[in-house]
Amino acid sequence: MPFTIDINPVIASLGGLAIRWYSLTLLAAVAVAILVFSHEARRKQLDQRATLDGIWWVAIAALVGGRILYELQNDLPMLGADPLHLFMVWQGGLSFYGGLIAAIVTIVVFAWRRGVPLWPVLDAAAPAAAIGQAIGHIGCLITGDSYGLPTTLPWAVIYRNPAAMAPQGIPLQPTQAYEAISLGLLFAALWLGRERLGRLGAGAVAGSYLVGVAAIRFGLFFLRDEQAVFFGLKTAQLIGLGLAIGGAAILANLIRRRLAEPACTTKEMALP
């Protein structure tokens, strides 16, 4: 039997200010991600002052990048007619990959400017991103954002509240729940395996995250109600392929270097 979601996206209004479920879950996601990242930054003995400064720049960049790509993908005509629509987050959500790419670029630039080692920072950020994104998708489930295709599956979700972003009264694939669970499992895998991955070298956790998150979203977007743009693939799937190739290249390079180490050691020992 399908699950019914009849929740008003607006929890309450205080003097014209709407308090929304999406905003609360987003704040919770950011808070948990910051806690996880800070823990890993201390464990890796990174510059605490620099990483604390960088956290806020990365968070802002992720929000801005996520909003810009969402608008370009979904509301470009509206954005052209009213540029202020870019700031109307309550009328639409955030692009997952827009936020992720903006965050990565900001980390790279910030690490370079502040002289912080890049790969350890990315390794610390990877599990933080996974758990933050998992929590954020709970807000999508509540509000009806990022909904899936119609389905007859018994665990489908039906939205009843008129303010929800999803179509009303239609059993839909709960892709938001699928993604939240999958990203939570990715976080657990990265968190529990971070020391073993670390033996490959700096960047292994970040590379594994990129491959994992790209695989999750590539599969789930076959269940999303979005238009295909190239060979039956959707925009997010094409972006994910690029990120997966990048993550796989990082891991392949680390594995190649690790396999080459014994050979180098043997050759050096044989020298007179």
User: Considering the chain, what is the average pLDDT of its residues?
Assistant: 87
Q: Once rounded to an integer, what is the mean pLDDT over residues 32-51?
A: 90
What is the Cα–Cα distance from 92 to 141, expressed in whole angstroms? 13
Q: Give the CA distances from residue 87 to residues 30, 71, 73, in Å, rounded to whole numbers and listed in that order.
A: 19, 10, 15
Q: What is the pLDDT of residue 266?
A: 44
Do 247 and 207 contact (CB within 8 A), yes or no? yes
Percentage, residues of the chain above pLDDT 70: 88
pLDDT of 173: 96
Whether the pLDDT of residue 71 is over 80: the answer is: no
Distance of CA 25 to the CA centre of its chain: 14
Q: What is the pLDDT confidence band of residue 81, given thresholds at 50, 70 and 90?
A: low
Beta strand 10-14 with 17-20 is: antiparallel
Is the per-residue pLDDT at 17 higher than 60? yes
Residue 228 has pLDDT above 70, yes or no: yes
Rg of the chain on CA atoms, in Å: 21
pLDDT higher than 50, residue 36: yes
pLDDT for residue 83 is more than 80: no
| Segment among 7-21, 126-140, 166-180, 224-238 with least mean pLDDT | 7-21
Q: Please tell me the predicted confidence (pLDDT) of residue 217.
A: 94
Question: Residue 131 in 3-state DSSP?
Answer: helix
pLDDT band at 269, cuts 50/70/90? Answer: very low
35 pLDDT band, cuts 50/70/90, is very high
Query: Which SS3 state, helix, strand or coil, does residue 1 take?
Result: coil
> Of 5-19, 37-51, 96-110, 229-243, where does mean pLDDT reach its minimum?
5-19
Chain segment 84-114, per-residue pLDDT in tens: 656 666 555 678 888 899 999 999 999 898 8
